[in-house]
Amino acid sequence: MIAPSPRIAPSMLSADFARLGAELAIVDPGRDWLHCDVMDQHFVPNLTFGPMIIEAANRLTEAPLDVHLMIERPWETLAAFRAAGADHVIVHFEACPQPAAVLRAIRATGASAGLAIKPGTSYAAAAPLLPELDQLLVMTVEPGFGGQEFMPAMLEKVRAAAADRDRLGLAFAIEVDGGIHHDTIGAARAAGADVFVAGHAIFHAPQPIRALEALRTAVGA
């Protein structure tokens, strides 16, 4: 399992793909993950990239690749994303009629297994699956596009997950994604989150490396 220690996960979706190597050079393999948002224009309205870009990112950084599948029928693509270099594979509860089986299938590839829940999905719906997963990703915006406003009410899910993790003696990481920046990351950390996906706050900053370091400092990463 993934030890719940603070990590910043810069979101590649917000990087400049025309100079991707230079953009990803700020990601520290020893302290950060690289978050990769895969979208299919069906499960979410946006369309991004597939295994080919994951494979390219894997050549550009040694940081663990945190691959978030915002797609329909994600179980059909697990082997391809793992072969491309995915270290962590996250699927959506809402996209999986049998989420426990999909989580086990992810682990069978050798990747860690993550489950994401949209803002409209209750924590209680996902809670029975906690023993099956390595990461719980709480979406703090509606998935599909970067740059949205953080939804503070979603931190109740984070608090509930952190409490259950302690009560059950589990070691899954709690990840938050959406609207994470210097004004919101402290509240997410205080609620119990361990992994913080940030895109615009890093890659759209005047000095991305300083923005990333400030977020690391804010959570002790």
The one catalytic residue in 37, 66, 134, 194 is: 37
Please report the DSSP string for 139-206 in residue order: ESS-TT-SSPPP-GGGHHHHHHHHHHHHHHT---EEEEESS-STTTHHHHHHHT--EEEESHHHHTSS
The one catalytic residue in 40, 66, 177, 194 is: 177
Nearby residues of 113 by Cβ (< 8 Å), 6 or more positions away? 89, 103, 104, 106, 107, 132, 133, 134, 135
Q: Report how far residue 7's alpha carbon sits from residue 197's, in angstroms, rounded to the nearest whole number.
A: 9
Q: Indicate if 37 belongs to the active site.
A: yes
**Catalytic positions:** 37, 177
